[in-house]
Chains A and B, each alone.
Chain A
């Protein structure tokens, strides 16, 4: 008998179940792209029939980090850049949980960049949504790791001398097994992609272009966008690492020239998730660890019986 009956409980859900009964006053500005992430996540969760009590949504700090104030589920609003290590440990502790991590471009590609690289490398079975508005929103508009070269802000008065991070390429070289980009202005595609990401058995990275009309007025609203799967101009095999790599490089190059390419860029269904790898070498038990603490029949090992002999 499980101590966690919300997991795979088969409860009927619709998208309103993810709206907190009394929605706290949204703090996002009108026209902010973050609303679209919330909407897509609600839609995807409902489509997949996930109960709010079986989802753990971890977030970082930023405007984006407020996501779990408006999304009804178990939530962990962590600290700047650290949503991934918290999320992946929770998944190891209880693999039945639907774990989604989310945060901003500064949060995920800057301060938390090391965790992004390693979580992708390990291929934890979880979804990571990066609200990429190419700016530090919450701290009032400083240049972020994805801001284009030459981007001027109060802390970069002469314009940034740095080339932006390439989020898709970085995810690919790091080891993510599902990589997509969508945009706030494309709600249908966004929901479809988040559904796929949540269903994917491995680390699914979604770079979600979210316009920030308050601090990033120069930036486009990410229109017109092109879906690389639907457009006849692009033809590549999303299961082929090299072709994906080329497509990502082009996508990252043209974003700052006004062409917004979105869609799925890489999918590897064969790569085992970290949980599977760890179980295969005997380092992760079959029964979720979290269940053990509620299992009255479990005989807890003692060091006296198990490890003391070698000290005698």
Chain B
């Protein structure tokens, strides 16, 4: 663990602008030439409740939060509830300071707003400061803000103090403020920034501590965006112009981004009565010839089960996204988890035939959303993007060139009116939209309004022209044809240059870590730490879940002696899928699980691996759980 990185945590109350302040600061650091990665923590409350965002900035690429952090900016919580005797939430006012001490590294910096926070309310504060060699700066940020502008501008004062203490040029922050703020509030903010900066330089010796921002340079222009941004832009670039939805955290982010952007590009967004309707609208729009999507989080996605099956049976292309949060039921709405994997793979009656991708990074979220649309429309299946609160909300810098690609509005396997003239029709006059013997199982569709294209789409089993039929021969032919598409899709994905299974570490390593979706970056960080400590470990991040990339995962497993599957749920769902798909390796696979609402930290994995796999011991902490391999 080195300190050639700045891990800055801004803590305060929900509703105090922590998110926007941190987003701007992350962008300023990116513009200064650093690689950045953010992690946010917030309660299921609109106003009040302790929240923080962490920005990790380094001259090297960062894909995960670090172990602990080294710079705390603790602001007040304007909406803290009055502490009452015996209240289980205790004194909320002091939380931005008190709740964040455990993870602060030795030698770290603490800046707190002495206008609002009183460190003497924290037990043993001074002792802990001394024991950990923390450097404390109690500065009345509130007064600083109030003297020039308004109290809420204390966030800016905190950023000014940070710049002075960590050696960051305020120019980057000033530029961003100038871009983002209306005239009226810009002036006072700039002044507060400058005053805070100068105040520190005049009053303190900023060299008294070792925490400074590194310097760096980018070879090419960068953009700062979240997994939710990436999914939205992937959809836009693949020609999606219709979204229907119903708000639910954390999927609401993608829904919001597209609702705000669609009017600018002639797209349509519909907020509807419930998620059953949302999925049905996406299916209806797609049926009528538009690239369409919907999405939700666990509970809302549960309501989409029956429409999802309808899309499978009628072979209507559609893209659904599922942003996981901790379940079951309402669970923990703002906490992350990967517990909806089995739900998404199998929900809806009958044999499922869908595509499920779980991007591991922000740039993969863009790529795989595009892939999801392409596959859905070419093969006429529903495609699902499974992600989570973590990936949706984290910000990372990506080269702008990653998005410099051709759009693909192609509707996939659809006929034109001219093609319909010669296409096979039933005696009834209907177009045979569901022909039995077709390449890859894909029978091209027609779109309502096309001359000579009429057919019947139905959730019942049906004949080639769509009429309801229950004869065994037709049933088997149609079922086999639909299922056959899975093989064609796997072959299609395998034939592409890029794979979304991500390998990290030494090829020849003895041990493997396997994960899926959003934990990929954290697992990779753990691999690096373990390698530094002399362990022979590599990792595989799986992002194609259905059809499962059996060959790639098998090859990886064949190459290691043992593998630990890392996932954020309590019942090892991904390990279950892997064993079901591969039908072997049971004795090689064990699990490291975390389901306390927080994503893995690299240290959880490093320690978990060493304790269980290397030393064969029990895990003593409560954060993670170990499930041994079969036969152990």
When distances are taken between beta carbons in the complex, the residues of chain B under 8 Å from A154 are: none
Interface string of A142-170 (1 = CB under 8 A from B): 00000000000000000000000000000
Q: Is the CB of B428 within 8 A of A22?
A: yes
Q: Is the CB of B306 within 8 A of A311?
A: no
- Which residues of A, 66-122, contact B by the 8 Å Cβ criterion? 66, 68-69, 72-79, 82, 85-94, 96-97, 114-115, 117-118
**How far, in whole Å, are A307 and B231 apart by their CA atoms in the complex?**
13
Q: Is the CB of B451 within 8 A of A6?
A: yes
When distances are taken between beta carbons in the complex, the residues of chain A under 8 Å from B457 are: 75-77
Interface string of A8-31 (1 = CB under 8 A from B): 010000000000111010000000
Contact A289/B428 with A24-B467, A114-B274, A118-B273 known, Cβ cut-off 8 Å: no
Closest B residue by C-beta to A59: B458
When distances are taken between beta carbons in the complex, the residues of chain A under 8 Å from B403 are: 302-304, 308
Does A53 touch B at the CB level, under 8 Å? yes
Does B361 touch A at the CB level, under 8 Å? no
Q: Is the CB of A82 within 8 A of B276?
A: yes
Contact A303/B454 with A56-B448, A289-B268, A308-B400 known, Cβ cut-off 8 Å: no
Q: Which of B239, B285, B427, B455 has the most chain A CB atoms inside 10 A of its CB?
A: B285
**How far, in whole Å, are A53 and B307 apart by their CA atoms in the complex?**
25
Q: Is the CB of B416 within 8 A of A3?
A: yes
Does B181 touch A at the CB level, under 8 Å? no
Q: Is the CB of A90 within 8 A of B287?
A: yes
Does A292 touch B at the CB level, under 8 Å? yes
Q: Is the CB of B265 within 8 A of A301?
A: yes
Does B450 touch A at the CB level, under 8 Å? yes
**How far, in whole Å, are A50 and B244 apart by their CA atoms in the complex?**
29
Contact A78/B416 with A6-B449, A68-B456, A308-B403 known, Cβ cut-off 8 Å: no
Q: A292 to chain B: closest CB distance in Å?
A: 7
Q: Is the CB of B447 within 8 A of A89?
A: no
Does B576 touch A at the CB level, under 8 Å? no
Q: Is the CB of A293 within 8 A of B289?
A: yes
Does B161 touch A at the CB level, under 8 Å? no
Does B629 touch A at the CB level, under 8 Å? no
Does A294 touch B at the CB level, under 8 Å? yes
Does A290 touch B at the CB level, under 8 Å? yes
Q: B297 to chain A: closest CB distance in Å?
A: 20
Binds B, one of A39-47, A186-194, A277-285: A277-285
Q: Is the CB of B276 within 8 A of A7?
A: no
Does B443 touch A at the CB level, under 8 Å? no
Using C-beta atoms within 8 Å of the partner chain, give the interface range for chain B.
35 or more
When distances are taken between beta carbons in the complex, the residues of chain A under 8 Å from B61 are: none
When distances are taken between beta carbons in the complex, the residues of chain B under 8 Å from A311 are: 223-225, 229
* Cβ contact of A3, chosen from B229, B273, B276, B450, cutoff 8 A: B450
Does B373 touch A at the CB level, under 8 Å? no
**How far, in whole Å, are A92 and B242 apart by their CA atoms in the complex?**
9
Binds A, one of B185-193, B404-412, B586-594: B404-412
Closest B residue by C-beta to A298: B409
Q: Is the CB of A85 within 8 A of B284?
A: yes
Closest A residue by C-beta to B468: A69
Interface string of B272-311 (1 = CB under 8 A from A): 1110111011111101111110000000000000110110
Using C-beta atoms within 8 Å of the partner chain, give the interface range for chain A.
35 or more
- Which residues of B, 225-274, contact A by the 8 Å Cβ criterion? 225, 229, 232-233, 236-237, 239, 241-242, 244, 261-270, 272-274
Does A139 touch B at the CB level, under 8 Å? no
Interface string of B197-224 (1 = CB under 8 A from A): 0000000000000000000000001111
Contact A79/B229 with A85-B281, A290-B289, A304-B400 known, Cβ cut-off 8 Å: no
Q: Is the CB of B242 within 8 A of A293?
A: no
Q: A310 to chain B: closest CB distance in Å?
A: 9
When distances are taken between beta carbons in the complex, the residues of chain B under 8 Å from A58 are: 284
Does A231 touch B at the CB level, under 8 Å? no
Q: Is the CB of B417 within 8 A of A5?
A: yes
Q: B586 to chain A: closest CB distance in Å?
A: 39
Q: Is the CB of A20 within 8 A of B289?
A: no
Q: A280 to chain B: closest CB distance in Å?
A: 12
- Which residues of A, 260-312, contact B by the 8 Å Cβ criterion? 278, 282-285, 287, 289-290, 292-294, 298, 300-304, 306-308, 311-312
Does B460 touch A at the CB level, under 8 Å? yes
Q: Is the CB of A89 within 8 A of B404?
A: no
Q: Is the CB of B428 within 8 A of A53?
A: no
Q: Is the CB of A85 within 8 A of B277?
A: yes
Contact A79/B307 with A97-B449, A301-B236, A302-B237 known, Cβ cut-off 8 Å: yes
Pull 23 A–B residue pairs with CB atoms less than 8 Å apart, ordered by A: A3-B449, A5-B450, A6-B449, A7-B449, A9-B451, A53-B449, A56-B448, A74-B448, A75-B454, A85-B272, A85-B281, A114-B274, A115-B273, A117-B273, A118-B272, A118-B277, A285-B266, A289-B241, A290-B288, A293-B291, A307-B261, A308-B403, A312-B221
- Write the residues of chain A forming the contact surface with B, with a CB cutoff of 8 angstroms: 3-7, 9, 20-22, 24, 52-54, 56, 58, 61, 66, 68-69, 72-79, 82, 85-94, 96-97, 114-115, 117-118, 278, 282-285, 287, 289-290, 292-294, 298, 300-304, 306-308, 311-312
Top-4 shortest CB links A-B: A89-B284, A4-B449, A290-B289, A86-B284
Q: With contacts A89-B283, A285-B266, A302-B403 known, what are 7 further pairs, Cβ within 8 A?
A: A56-B288, A76-B458, A85-B272, A90-B448, A115-B277, A117-B273, A278-B268
